[in-house]
């Protein structure tokens, strides 16, 4: 195993990720262009809620339909907005976790280097999709990026989207590398997650990759979640992680059960991020615009989503609960 030294974080502990990392949506204008003003407001809202990290240009940020220059611009904006908002919190801005993963190792290295130059703190690197590498190939992919990408890495394991699973044994070998600092575990495989949590090295963060798994993963010793629901209700997700991490299990279960309908509704009726963007639009925070092939959430799914948001504590704009053209 390599003996390369860890890269310095922006502040002590910045790459030991805990709590809520928000997988931030990318707001678009009605004409389909980036809505930079809305994006900045979303970042400020996350900082004010006390999230530990913000992850732009991931799956929830519609990275597959963003041009490379748009991805870089959003990372740059996220760093600037988080830094500005964090100044009001004594300089303690959330860690910026830039989505840089592709199914091309060389392209991922280049994207990770650009993210480093733009001020990101950590790279979120999805397992290669479509070309279906085996475990040896996955391991070499991540090690190459760790060696040459200029940022600490989070392995993003989401077999439902990539058609390949980063097995526990592979992940645990990768976790020994000083620049591979965490996993976003979205396999939905409790056995695999339990093995990783039992055998991971000290300082390696295990983050739930699905909101609904937040409480179970923390109960098993995990560190937090990369969250979709925190786009809508960041304070509630922060409170859930804090209660569970502090051993306040009754409080954690109460928050989990209150949020459960929303956590389910955010993945019902259309692929992520169509439901969460519909929800944010109902709250008056963004326009309900996605890039094709994704389309806005169908009308039949909107009443259930709206009710779940209300029950979870969100305030909606009644005029925005209908389908928006």
Residue 319 confidence (pLDDT) above 90: no
**Closest of 30, 51, 29 to residue 39, by C-alpha:** 29
Q: What does the pLDDT read at residue 4?
A: 41
Is residue 322 very low, low, confident or very high in pLDDT (cuts 50, 70, 90)?
low
125 within a domain of the structure (yes/no): yes
203 within a domain of the structure (yes/no): yes
User: For residues 296 and 290, is the Cβ–Cβ distance under 8 A?
Assistant: yes
119 within a domain of the structure (yes/no): yes
325 within a domain of the structure (yes/no): no
**Closest of 298, 316, 287 to residue 33, by C-alpha:** 287
Q: How far apart are CA 74 and CA 66, in angstroms?
A: 10
Longest dimension (CA), the chain: 58
Residue 87 confidence (pLDDT) above 80: no
User: For residues 251 and 243, is the Cβ–Cβ distance under 8 A?
Assistant: yes
Residue 277 is a catalytic residue = no
Residue 199 confidence (pLDDT) above 50: yes
Q: 151: left (phi > 0), else alpha (psi -120 to 50), else beta?
A: beta
pLDDT in tens, 152-168: 999 999 999 999 999 99
Q: What does the pLDDT read at residue 156?
A: 98
| C-alpha radius of gyration, the chain, whole number | 18
> In whole angstroms, what separates CA 287 from the centre of its chain?
21
Is residue 3 very low, low, confident or very high in pLDDT (cuts 50, 70, 90)?
very low
Residue 142 is a catalytic residue = no
85 within a domain of the structure (yes/no): yes
Residue 88 confidence (pLDDT) above 70: no
Q: How far apart are CA 67 and CA 242, in angstroms?
A: 36
What's the total number of domains in the chain?
A: 1
Q: What share of the chain is helix, strand, coil (3-state, %, to 5)?
A: 45, 10, 40
Average pLDDT over residues 68-73: 98
Q: Which range marks the domain in which residue 95 is found? A: 19-248
Residue 193 confidence (pLDDT) above 70: yes
314 within a domain of the structure (yes/no): no
Provide the b/e sequence for 197-209 (b: ≥16 CB within 10 Å).
beebeeebbbbbb
Collapsing DSSP states into helix, strand and coil, what is residue 97?
Answer: strand
**Closest of 189, 179, 182, 180 to residue 159, by C-alpha:** 189
Selecting among 129, 130, 142, 156, the annotated active-site residue is 156
Percentage above 70 pLDDT, the chain: 93
pLDDT in tens, 239-279: 999 999 999 999 999 999 999 999 999 999 999 999 999 99
Residue with tokens 């799956």: 59
Strand partners, 245: none
Selecting among 129, 142, 184, 277, the annotated active-site residue is 184
324 within a domain of the structure (yes/no): no
Domain CATH code at residue 151: 3.20.20.70
277 within a domain of the structure (yes/no): no
Q: How far apart are CA 144 and CA 285, in angstroms?
A: 39
Backbone φ and ψ of 151, nearest 5° = -140, 155
Q: How confident is the prediction for the chain on average, in pLDDT?
A: 93
């Amino acid at each position: 195993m390599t003996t390369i030294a860890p890269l310095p974080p922006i502040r002590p502990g910045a790459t030991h990720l805990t709590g809520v990392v928000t997988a931030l949506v990318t707001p678009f204008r009605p004409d389909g262009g980036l809505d930079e003003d809305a994006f900045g407001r979303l970042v400020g809202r996350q900082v004010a809620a006390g999230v530990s990290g913000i992850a732009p240009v991931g799956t929830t940020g519609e990275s597959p339909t963003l041009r490379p220059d748009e991805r870089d611009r959003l990372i740059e904006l996220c760093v600037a907005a988080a830094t500005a908002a964090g100044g009001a919190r004594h300089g303690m801005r959330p860690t910026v976790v830039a989505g840089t993963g592709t199914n091309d190792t060389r392209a991922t290295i280049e994207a990770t280097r650009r993210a480093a130059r733009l001020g990101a703190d950590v790279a979120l690197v999805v397992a290669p999709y479509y070309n279906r590498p085996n475990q040896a190939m996955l391991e070499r992919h991540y090690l190459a990026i760790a060696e040459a990408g200029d940022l600490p890495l989070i392995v993003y394991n989401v077999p439902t989207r990539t058609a390949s699973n980063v097995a526990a044994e592979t992940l645990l070998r990768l976790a020994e590398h000083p620049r591979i600092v965490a996993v976003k575990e979205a396999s939905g495989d409790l056995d695999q997650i339990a093995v990783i949590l039992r055998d991971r090295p000290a300082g390696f963060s295990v983050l739930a990759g699905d909101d609904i798994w937040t409480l179970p993963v923390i109960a098993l010793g995990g560190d937090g979640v990369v969250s979709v629901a925190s786009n809508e209700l960041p304070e509630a997700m922060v409170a859930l992680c804090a209660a569970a991490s502090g051993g306040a299990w009754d409080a954690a279960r109460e928050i989990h059960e209150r949020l459960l309908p929303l956590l389910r509704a955010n993945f019902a009726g259309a692929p992520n991020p169509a439901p969460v963007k519909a929800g944010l639009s109902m709250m008056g925070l963004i326009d309900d615009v996605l890039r094709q092939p994704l389309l806005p959430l169908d009308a039949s799914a909107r009443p259930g989503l709206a009710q779940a948001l209300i029950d979870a504590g969100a305030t909606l704009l009644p005029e925005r609960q209908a389908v928006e053209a």
